[in-house]
A and B are shown apart, each in its own frame.
Chain A
Amino acid sequence: MEQLMIELNPQTTQPVVQVKNLAKAYGSNVVLRDVSLSVAEGSVTAMIGPSGAGKSTVLRCMNLLEQPDSGEIVIDGHCINAGKKTSPKSLAALRRSAGMVFQHFNLFPHMTVLRNVSLPQERVLGCSREQANEKSMELLKRMGLADKADQYPSRCSGGQQQRIAIARALALGPRVMLFDEPTSALDPEVGVEVLEVMKELASTGMTMVVVTHEMAFAENVADELVVMADGGIIEKGHPGQILKDPQHERTRRFLRAVLER
């Protein structure tokens, strides 16, 4: 399966996500300058780079949690242009096609695990309670959390909470999953549970964009590696190649720092 993924070339298949000339600044502080990116159907793109490089901002611009100053975002045919005003309808459509997983899970603590996964299905997709719960239980089972359905998130470990968050996002049937440092708030042992789930997800052909510091994941699971620094993409390509033979001096410095610690 993994082999097959690598052979898929981003140029020949219709991209699910396209980001064109994205730019953003907070006052005089430029956080993104002219970022363009395209993610092929069924591929896994890993984004790495030093903190402050703008990786998370790119991801958060993709579903407009951050408003870019200029540029264009197309996800599954839903196009958002930073210059024009976005209608709530097209924003909702875009967000429905992109599932997001956060560093700090962002579950709703006052609802049970099952409600966390079911509520968005009811409100966003208009499912009935029974339909939603059935789908939620199926996903929780897949995440190995069927026994946690009636618990509250605070009673679950960090790794479990993150898997609940993944189930919650998957329940809406997204075309692409965006992961914003999904294991950074977890201790390494627990992070593995989450990485396993993500690997399984990748192997089923889910399109994924992952901002991460997990180099092993980037190397073994990703089809495309994007290296960012100072608000721009400095290098992208096959992960093995970049990790073995980085072209850019900034990439070399970053890789030395993360790999030789």
Chain B
Amino acid sequence: MNNLVDVAIEYGPTLLGGLKVSLTLTILSLALGLPIGLLFSFGVTAKNKAFRYISVFFVEVGRGAPALVLLQLMYYGLPNANITLSSMASACLALTWTTAAYSAELIRGGMQSVPSGEIEGSHALGMSYRDCLRFVVIPQGLRIALPSLMGFAVLLFQATSLAYSVAVPELMSQAYSIGSSTFQYLPVFIVAGLLYAAISIPATWLSVGAERLLSRHL
């Protein structure tokens, strides 16, 4: 126990620095991945074949391939094609892909659960297809998808720990390097785990609250 407190005090700043990198990676991947996901959510059901095929490719590969494979592909694989990215950039690219792929399906599911009667209602009123999307389908679809998107964000935050394998100095890799230089693996991983939980658990509460708030009129 004493050991745990000592480790926490001594290596706290390093671990918190790693946590900051983890959070940055999460936020960047969400900021880039969610808009692309929204685009793909239209793409996978689009009439335009090129748009549809490209969307389906990225969504299916992004969901089918483990995030670890995508990470390694971007960092170790792309240099073979003469594209060399920094560890942070390649991790960000891989997790953006994962985010876009999963969120596309979550958003599409949300949009499809908007009752067709409301869409008919807006057509019968003479509202254009675009207005129907803008005022009826997207606001409600995103509202329906938001709790699961927030759940996904928590999973993504935890998945950033995989970025230690491509030398991103995030929380997991900081913990690992402290462990390997001090052999205090047990306390340092416990502290790292607690730090992950300290973010994930309140974020989950937040998503439950958001769900309640948003579904109040539906």
Contact = CB atoms under 8 A, between A and B. Distances in A.
Interface of A: 63, 65, 88, 92, 95-96, 98-100, 102, 104, 106-110, 119-120, 123-124, 152-154, 165, 168-169, 172
Interface in B71-130: 115, 117-118, 120-128
A65 B217 contact: no
B217 A120 contact: no
B201 interface: no
Contact of B136 (A88, A102, A108): A108
Q: Does more than half of chain B's interface fall in helix, strand or loop, or is it mixed?
A: helix
Interface string B38-65: 0000000000000000000000000000
Contacts of A99: 124
B131 A104 contact: no
Nearest to B126: A95
Contact of A95 (B115, B123, B131): B123
Contacts of A102: 117, 120-121, 124
Given A104-B117, A119-B135, A110 B124 contact: no
In the A-B complex, list the 7 residue pairs whose CB atoms are closest, starting with the nearest.
A106-B121, A95-B126, A100-B124, A152-B217, A106-B117, A120-B125, A96-B126
Given A65-B120, A106-B120, A108-B136, A124 B125 contact: yes
Contacts, number: 67
A82 B140 CA distance: 33
B128 A107 contact: no
A124 B127 contact: yes
Interface of B: 115, 117-118, 120-128, 131, 135-136, 139-140, 143, 217-218
Contacts of B118: 106-109
Given A104-B117, A123-B131, A123-B135, A110 B143 contact: yes
A109 B131 CA distance: 16
A139 to B, nearest CB: 14
A151 to B, nearest CB: 10
Given A102-B117, A102-B120, A110-B140, A123 B127 contact: yes
Contacts of A124: 125-127
A73 to B, nearest CB: 14
Q: Considering residues A98, A102, A120, A165, which has the most beta carbons from chain B within 10 angstroms of its beta carbon?
A: A120
